[in-house]
């Protein structure tokens, strides 16, 4: 596993770091893993993947830093505002039925900013109090940050906290949340996965959406064949589930 500017992992090192980190590294793009490992080696003044695995076994801080690096989190309230404009003007009004709210899942929620942003949009649309919102992330520390509302203004947290729920969840290796969702957001997560894992993730997202529900990906992401997941493109980076789709 090599990459320009990264560290070339052999299979034994990859297996050791997978075991120590608890992250299925083979599911990620080799260039991404190699870059993260290379930075960790430089940061800690060591020279091999085997040394890094040994360090992570004895140093919780080194392990946490490696996991944060691989499980990238770049977020903020209303990040990529054009996508939230689309949600408010078109997507959510399609999903909100009179007298009802919506079920929303932010998959890979990081510090919760994305889901709090959706909650604010639902508030402006008059549907927040009837909606149920779930955020999940693979890192427990990020879930706790989201639960505390540490990354959002206090008034936003007070307005929305009773209607959002947070949980730690691995998107590839653990069961889907119970129930089906009107809207699933999974933005800028799959870009770090290798193609087979991307396909598995997209199939699972499709399985989590109700028939007629929507999936929003990041503004640099698109499905080349959405029909293989039972989806139809309805807007830039937004897909609608048109029929039940089997989980991967």
pLDDT tens by residue, 175-213: 999 999 999 999 999 999 999 999 999 999 999 999 999
Rounded distance, CA 165 to CA 130, Å?
14
Is residue 1 scored above 90 in pLDDT? no
Handedness of CA 201, 207, 210, 212 (dihedral sign): positive
**pLDDT at position 176:** 96
Residue 154 half-sphere exposure toward CB, CA atoms < 13 A: 0
The yes-or-no verdict on residue 245 having pLDDT over 70 is no
Q: At 86, which helix (H) or strand (E)?
A: helix 81-86
> What value does the mean pLDDT take over residues 43-64?
96
Q: Residue 202's pLDDT is what? A: 97
- What is the DSSP-derived secondary structure letter of residue 134? E
Q: Range(s) for CATH 3.40.50.150 in the chain?
A: 81-241
140: tokens are 């427990």
Distances (CA, A) of 110 to 52, 130, 160, 238: 25, 24, 17, 20
List, for residues 77-112, the tens digit of each pLDDT value: 999 999 999 999 999 999 998 888 999 999 999 999
How far, in whole angstroms, is CA 237 from its chain's centroid?
Answer: 15
CA 24 to chain centre: 15
- Contact (CB, 8 A) for 227 and 215: no
Residues in CB range of 126: below 8 A, 6 or more apart: none
Q: Which fold has domain 81-241?
A: Rossmann fold (3.40.50)
When the pLDDT of each residue in the chain is averaged and rounded to a whole number, the result is 93
Q: Is the pLDDT of residue 3 over 50?
A: no
Cα 208 from Cα 247, distance rounded (Å): 8
pTM: 0.90
Q: What is the pLDDT of residue 8?
A: 82
What 3-state DSSP class applies to 133?
strand
| Region 147-171 average pLDDT | 93
Q: Is the pLDDT of residue 229 over 70?
A: yes
Residue 73: what pLDDT? 83
Residue 243: per-residue pLDDT:
59
**202: Cα separation from own chain's centroid:** 11
């Amino acid at each position: 596993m090599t990459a320009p500017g990264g560290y070339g992992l052999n299979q034994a090192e990859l297996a050791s770091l997978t075991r120590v980190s608890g992250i299925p590294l083979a599911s990620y793009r080799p260039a991404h893993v190699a870059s993260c490992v290379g930075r960790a080696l430089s940061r800690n003044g060591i020279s091999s993947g085997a040394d890094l695995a040994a360090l992570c076994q004895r140093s919780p801080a080194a392990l946490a830093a490696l996991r944060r690096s691989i499980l990238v989190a770049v977020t903020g309230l209303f990040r990529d505002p054009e996508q939230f404009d689309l949600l408010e003007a078109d997507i959510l009004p399609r999903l909100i039925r009179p007298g009802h709210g919506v079920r929303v899942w932010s998959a890979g929620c990081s510090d919760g900013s994305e889901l709090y942003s959706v909650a604010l949009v639902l508030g402006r649309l008059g549907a927040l109090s009837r909606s149920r919102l779930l955020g999940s992330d693979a890192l427990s520390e990020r879930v706790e940050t989201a639960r505390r509302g540490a990354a959002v203004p206090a008034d936003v947290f007070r307005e929305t906290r009773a209607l959002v729920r947070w949980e730690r969840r691995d998107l590839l290796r653990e069961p889907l949340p119970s129930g089906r969702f009107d809207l699933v957001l999974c933005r800028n997560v799959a870009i770090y996965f290798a193609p087979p894992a991307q396909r598995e993730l997209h199939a699972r997202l499709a399985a989590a959406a109700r028939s007629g529900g929507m999936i929003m990906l990041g503004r640099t992401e698109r499905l080349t064949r959405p029909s293989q997941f039972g989806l139809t493109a309805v807007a830039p980076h937004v897909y609608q589930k048109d029929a039940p789709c089997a989980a991967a």
